[in-house]
Structures are given as C-alpha cells and as structure tokens.
Structure 1
Amino acid sequence: MTWYLVNGDVYMEHRFLKKTLKLEEGRIFVLPPDTRPEEGAHIYNAAGKKIVPGFIDVHTHGAVGVDVNAATAEDYEKICRFAAGNGTTSWLCSVLTDTKEQTCRCIDEFKKHQQMEQKGANLLGIHLEGPFLSSEYKGAMPEYLLQKANLPLLKEYQQRAEGAIRYITVSPEVEGIPDMIPEIRKLGITVAIGHSGADYETSWDAIRKGAQSCTHTFNAMKLLHQHFPAIMGAALESDIYCEAICDGRHLHPGTVRLLLKVKGLDRVVAITDSIMAAGLPDGKYKLGVNDVVVEDGDAKLAENGVRAGSTLTQNVALKNLLKFTGKSLEEILPLLTENPANLIKIADHKGFIADGMDADLVVLDPDFEVFDTFVGGRKVTSEDSNI
C-alpha cells in the first residue's frame, strides 16, 4: 500500500518544512510539496498538523495489564498496539531482574512475538534491567536475585535471544562489572549504568570501558555531593546519554531543566519506565515479582512505598517536556526520536524523517496530541490500537 502525506509540516533536520511524504514498502520518500500523488495511492491530508518521527521507548516494563516479566507473545502485542496509539512506534521490553528460568521464558515469548502478525509498534528487542545490580540501590529489584558479573550467563541469554538483547543496565560497583563492559559490547549490547551507589572513580571506569547511558537518571542512584560526585557526577560530566522519566513525579521540572542544560538536547533520552498499570485506573498491580499499588497514577511498592516504575506514556512525556522547559517542539522532539535511536544504534533506519528511513511517523495536532500513527508505512487504526 502506498500513502502520500500531503499539506503537513514535516520535521526534518530539527525544523519543520513543507514536504510531501511518500510511504512505500515500509520506507519514506521525501518529495517536493507540490508533488502530484500517483493514481490509486492513498492520500492523507495533514493540513494544519505536524508530521514527526515515531517515538522510541527504550525502557518500559509493561502497560494495559501486561507485565513484561509475565507476558506471553500475545501480551507483547497488546503493549505494541497500546504504544502505537500514544505515538510510540518502536520499543524495547524491559525485563526486571528475575530467575534464570523466567528470564529465558521472557526471551522465548519475545521470539514468538517476532513471528506474529504485528499491528502496533515495533518491538525491537530486549532491555535487561539487571541482574548485575547493587543491592543498596536495588529499587524494585528482588535482592536475592542480584548477581555479581556473570558473562557466561549473559552470553547464554544473548544466544537464546538470537542477538535481540540490545540494552542492559548494570551497576559499576558490582564485582567484575567494569572489566565485563567491553565484552558486553562485543555481544552487540549497549550498556547503561544505574541502580548504583558507585563512587566517581568507579563510575568513570565503567564509562571509559564503554558504558554509554545512565538509567533513569537521578532515580535509584547515589546523588551528587560537592566532595563525592559519585555516579551522578560522572553521568552529568561525561558525554553518555541520560534517561529521564518526565512524569513530574520522578523528576521535578527544575531537575529536568537542569539535566537538559548540563547534558544538552542531544544527550537526554525520554523514557516511560512504565509498568502494567499504564493506561489503566489506580489499583493493585505487579512489577516482576513485586506487588505494586498505584494511587493517583503514582506506582509504589506495596511493602515499603518505594516508587516502582511509572504509568507514563510518551505522548504525555512530550507534553510534559514542553511544559516543564518552555522549549519548542523542534528542540524537544530529539529526546523521543533521534536520541534513543542513536543510543541503541538504529539511527540508520529509525528516529529521523529522510529518504529511505523506516516509515514510522506520528501526526500531531495543534495541541501536540497524537492524531494518527504510521508504523512501517501502515496507518494504525483505532481498532488496531484498542485493547
């Protein structure tokens, strides 16, 4: 099916231009605005709207009643459909620290999903949040399942996943982790540091050895002290990417502004860190093996009140960022598009609007609400995104 998107303002090279977009065989072709569509093609009139790259979420644990750690292949598709309705066209399923048996099951269900007909967002791969994490800053991680560095185990997971593990969160102070980072990268996995009380020197050792990101920056980590900068200081000083949960709970708006001022607009990645409660009312839910209570949209562990993920979606994160920072749409969009694409090394085909790129697009109305979504050149219908 061939689409022509006409009359819209198209986001290219950090500005909006009048262009016609042809979507054919899952790819984008950028044409002059006065291009006449081919006979028989589907025409989408985007007058008064903005066409932007599809959002990419590299860190989410679930939505609409589905917890990634317990999900079936069919459950993954439910998240895909829900995500597409909120402008997310690509995502990684984040597997919380779990038993080897359950982690392998998550990998197997991911592989099954890849063989299914997919009507929603692209499930691009797997993010392992652990198990090589600090017990001191474990957050929602089950302490008895945390491990020291174990390269053979990770190799086994990656082999089982057929290379689909794209991203992992580790703590620099865990025994053996800094020296393991170059080997993790050889497996094709991008390394993030987090859930950590690591000191400044140890954190920098991890960064110099190849860590490229910081997981949910400011949350579940030792914060900066003027005499002991710790992992927080290393993350801010270095050029690694910093994830940010912009729900107004995990980070104060002033903290978001500070992060952007220090890191720059090209080094912050807007994530949701959402759990199965996203898209659903307050109530009792699960996050891996943990019981979670959601009140007023705020997810916390039932046992101790520690915040446990979020109920955020990326369309809401976009509007929050615009509100928190006062910056323009042109400035903020990279946090949800090109930055995550660059982080997990898919920027050669996703995260941008240009000739030959994957036809993953979001149409925004004048209020920055998601009006329509295209995934792989296919318009996602309301039936597709309904759960």
Structure 2
Amino acid sequence: MELVIKNARVYHNHRFEDREVLIQNGTIAQVAPRVDAPAGYQVLDLGGKRLVPGFIDVHTHGGAGVDVNAATADQLNNTIGKFFASQGTTGWLASVLTDTPEQTLWCIEQIKQAKAQTGDHAQLLGVHLEGPFLASEYKGAMPEHLLQKGNAELFRRYAKAAEGSIKYMTVSPEVEGVPDMIRQIAGEVVVAIGHSGADYDTAMACIDAGAASATHTFNAMKLLHQHFPAIMGAVLETDVYCEAICDGRHLHPGTVRFLIKCKGLDRVVAITDSIMAAGLPDGNYKLGVNDVVVEDGDAKLASNGTRAGSTLTTGQALKNLVKFTGRPVEEVLPLLTENPADLLKMGNRKGRIRPGWDADLVVLDEDLTVIRTLVGGRTVFEKA
C-alpha cells in the first residue's frame, strides 16, 4: 500500500507532533513535517486528528461471539480479527486456554493458517499458551483435570507443530518441573508467570531462569504480605513486564496507579483478557470448556462465580487508563503499543511510528474513540 498521511498529529517520540507520514509496501518510509506525495500515491488527510501506533493485545480469548479454543482460521480473522480492528487492535495473540493436547494442536493449526492470511482484520501475530503447566489452587477458569506438571517436551511438541507461531506462554512457578522447564525453553518463547501462589524465592528463581512477564498481575495470584512477599512481591520488585486488565473490575483504578508507580510506564502491558462475549450483550457464553455468564458486562463462571476473563476492548482500555491515572494519553499509550511489542521481541518493527516500522496505525478523535485502523498501511476499519 502506497500512501501519504497528511494533516495529522502524529504520536512520535512520546508526544504529539504535526507530521506527515509516507507509507511504502506496508512500511513507514518517512515521518517528517512535510512529505511530498509521489505520483500515484493515495493521500489521507486526517484533518488534525491524532495518529498513534496500533494496539497490540498479547492476552485475549476471543470476541464477537467466537472463542479462541473453538475458532477456525476463518473465524479468527474474519470475526474476531475484524472486531478487534474496530477497537484499534492491529496485532494480537490468540490465548489458548488449557485444553487437551489434541484440541490444543487443532487450535495451533487454525492459528497458523490464520496467521498466513491477510484481509480487513487485525493481524494475528501468534499463539499465547495459557497453561497447561498451571497451579490448581489458582486455576481460575482452567479445567483442573487438564493441568500438568512442567514438561518441556510437551511444549516442544506444540512448538514444532506451530512452526514458530508460539510467542508467549503462561506457567506457574510452584508447579513441579516448571522452574527447570523455564531454564530449558526461555530462549525459545517469551515466558510469563501467573495463576500462582508461588512463594517469593520460587518466583524469583523462575525470573532468574528467564521468565519475562507476569500474567494478569494481581489476579489469580497470591497477594503481597509483609512477611511473605510471594509471587506478587517478586514481579513488582524486578524488571519483568506486568500485564494489567484495566476494566475497573479486575483492578481498582488505585491499583492501576500503584502498579504503574511500582513498575514505571515502560513495564506495564495493558491486556484485555477478553472472551467471546466482548462486543456483545449480557448472556451465556463459553470460555474453553467452561460455561460463563455475563451480567452488566462482568464475565463469571456459571459453576462458582469466579471471574472468567473480561469483555474489555483495547479501545476502551486506553480511555480507562487515561481516566484511572489522570495522565495524558501520550504517557499511557506505550502500555498498549510499544510495551507489548517489546515484550514479544517485536519492538524493532511494531509499536512505534518510525521509518522502517510496520505501518500499523490508529486514528483517534478528540474523545479517543477509534475512527480508523490501518494494518500494513491498509485501512481495515473505518468508523461510519
């Protein structure tokens, strides 16, 4: 796609500047005060609106009525991916909930096929395996009978089938075999720790072994005690990234502010942890093998009332971050853009508006509502 974007307030070097952007072959070629449009190039005039990097969601289980664990390649792109594009998401990981090896391999195959396709949808960047190496006491919505001990060989079986598509995996430090597994595979996949009641020393050992992130921090996690800092103390003290579900339910606004103050704006990754109910009314839904009831937008397991993912979108998460923190949008944008890109080791091509980076972009109005989404310089969503 050959395009020049004019009359834009471009998010550049963590502030908004009057800039024009030249896009060639899906890549940002130039960001400058003035760009001369070559002959034959399309021109997009933003009328002074804000242009920001596309949002990247590293942890989501679906949306628009489709659950990742049951989604075909077509549904991943043309239902979930289309809906995500309307919310400003340009790249996402499909989070596969703990399931049978057979179903997990089926999910991996669908994701691999979807990843290879282009169209009017957010780009599927790969797989997030949420389990099966998780602690039963903090399982949340994970089916307990499918949880397993740490097993690098099973991970490698999945990784071989995925052919490089597994980008991220959540494990629990206290599960037998997990610390050793992290040491073996940390060079092959970005490892997050969570769903865990691990003590401080065990969590620290896993971070030292290569764990780089904490899954939905504070949720499904043993909380801090002054004598027993536990996994929470370990992830707050170290430089690991911390996922945060900023929907106002999973985390109180004060907790979001506290997390940012502890970690800094460069180590918090805003996620949705959305389920198939995102974008839809209250009702009965699924999350993997679980029945979920959504009331007032709050998703809980039908069996015991445990919170089970969210109905949050990235577009709403941005508005919530501004509201919860009182910070200007330019300060919190990295939580949805460059931080997830850096966590996934894609920060050299995604998450920023720079020459050489992918032209994954979002246009925001004055209310921070998404009005246009571009993937590789191609408009994949435009607000009516």
| Number of residues of Structure 1 aligned to a counterpart in Structure 2 | 383
Aligned residue in 1 for 2:57: 57
3-state DSSP class of the match of 1:7?
Answer: strand
Aligned residue in 2 for 1:46: 46
Aligned residue in 1 for 2:23: 23
Deviation at 1:33, TM superposition (A): 2.4
3-state DSSP class of the match of 2:138?
Answer: coil
3-state DSSP class of the match of 1:380?
Answer: strand
Structure 2: 5+ residue runs without aligned partners? Answer: none
Q: Which stretch shows the higher mean deviation, 70-79 or 32-41? A: 32-41
- The structure-2 alpha-carbon separation of the partners of 1:324 and 1:110, relative to structure 1 and needing over 3 Å to count, comes to same
Cα separation, 2, equivalents of 1:132 and 1:381: 37
3-state DSSP class of the match of 1:47?
Answer: coil
Q: Which amino acid aligns with 2:204?
A: W
Cα separation, 2, equivalents of 1:323 and 1:5: 29
C-alpha contact (below 8 Å) 1:57/1:88 kept by paired residues: yes
- The structure-2 alpha-carbon separation of the partners of 1:208 and 1:72, relative to structure 1 and needing over 3 Å to count, comes to same
C-alpha contact (below 8 Å) 1:19/1:30 kept by paired residues: no
3-state DSSP class of the match of 1:98?
Answer: coil
Q: Which amino acid aligns with 1:231?
A: I
Deviation at 1:99, TM superposition (A): 0.3
Q: Which amino acid aligns with 2:321?
A: L
Aligned residue in 1 for 2:232: 232
Encode CA deviations 1:316-340: one digit per residue, 9 max, x unaligned.
0000000000001110000000000
Cα separation, 1, equivalents of 2:143 and 2:32: 55
C-alpha contact (below 8 Å) 1:48/1:365 kept by paired residues: no
C-alpha contact (below 8 Å) 1:131/1:170 kept by paired residues: yes
- The structure-2 alpha-carbon separation of the partners of 1:349 and 1:197, relative to structure 1 and needing over 3 Å to count, comes to same
Aligned residue in 2 for 1:370: 370
Aligned residue in 2 for 1:111: 112
Aligned residue in 2 for 1:282: 282
Describe how 1:51-200 pairs up with structure 2 within 5 A.
51-77=51-77, 78-186=79-187, 188-200=188-200
Cα separation, 2, equivalents of 1:31 and 1:75: 35
Aligned residue in 2 for 1:243: 243
Deviation at 1:12, TM superposition (A): 1.2
C-alpha contact (below 8 Å) 2:119/2:380 kept by paired residues: no
Cα separation, 1, equivalents of 2:337 and 2:96: 22
Q: Which amino acid aligns with 1:240?
A: V
Cα separation, 1, equivalents of 2:119 and 2:112: 13
C-alpha contact (below 8 Å) 2:59/2:93 kept by paired residues: yes
Deviation at 1:116, TM superposition (A): 3.2
Aligned residue in 1 for 2:317: 317
Q: Which amino acid aligns with 2:15?
A: R
Cα separation, 2, equivalents of 1:172 and 1:371: 42
Q: Which amino acid aligns with 1:269?
A: V
Deviation at 1:117, TM superposition (A): 3.7
C-alpha contact (below 8 Å) 2:173/2:179 kept by paired residues: yes
Cα separation, 1, equivalents of 2:262 and 2:114: 39
Cα separation, 2, equivalents of 1:115 and 1:179: 33
Encode CA deviations 1:254-296: one digit per residue, 9 max, x unaligned.
0000000000000000000000000111000000000000000
Deviation at 1:194, TM superposition (A): 0.2
Encode CA deviations 1:2-40: one digit per residue, 9 max, x unaligned.
111111111111111121101110100224323321222
Describe how 1:237-316 pairs up with structure 2 within 5 A.
237-316=237-316
Structure 1: 5+ residue runs without aligned partners? Answer: none
Structure 2 length-normalised TM: 0.98
Structure 1 length-normalised TM: 0.97
C-alpha contact (below 8 Å) 2:186/2:209 kept by paired residues: no
Q: Which amino acid aligns with 2:225?
A: H
Encode CA deviations 1:74-97: one digit per residue, 9 max, x unaligned.
110111111111100000000000
Encode CA deviations 1:150-203: one digit per residue, 9 max, x unaligned.
1111100000000110000000000011111121223x2100000000001100
C-alpha contact (below 8 Å) 1:341/1:347 kept by paired residues: yes
Cα separation, 2, equivalents of 1:257 and 1:381: 32
Cα separation, 2, equivalents of 1:174 and 1:21: 49
C-alpha contact (below 8 Å) 1:90/1:122 kept by paired residues: yes
C-alpha contact (below 8 Å) 2:96/2:130 kept by paired residues: yes
Encode CA deviations 1:300-322: one digit per residue, 9 max, x unaligned.
00000000000000000000000
C-alpha contact (below 8 Å) 1:21/1:29 kept by paired residues: yes
Describe how 1:351-366 pairs up with structure 2 within 5 A.
351-366=351-366
C-alpha contact (below 8 Å) 1:62/1:274 kept by paired residues: yes
- The structure-2 alpha-carbon separation of the partners of 1:147 and 1:356, relative to structure 1 and needing over 3 Å to count, comes to same
Cα separation, 2, equivalents of 1:201 and 1:381: 47
Give aligned-pair identity as a percent. 64
Q: Which amino acid aligns with 2:334?
A: P
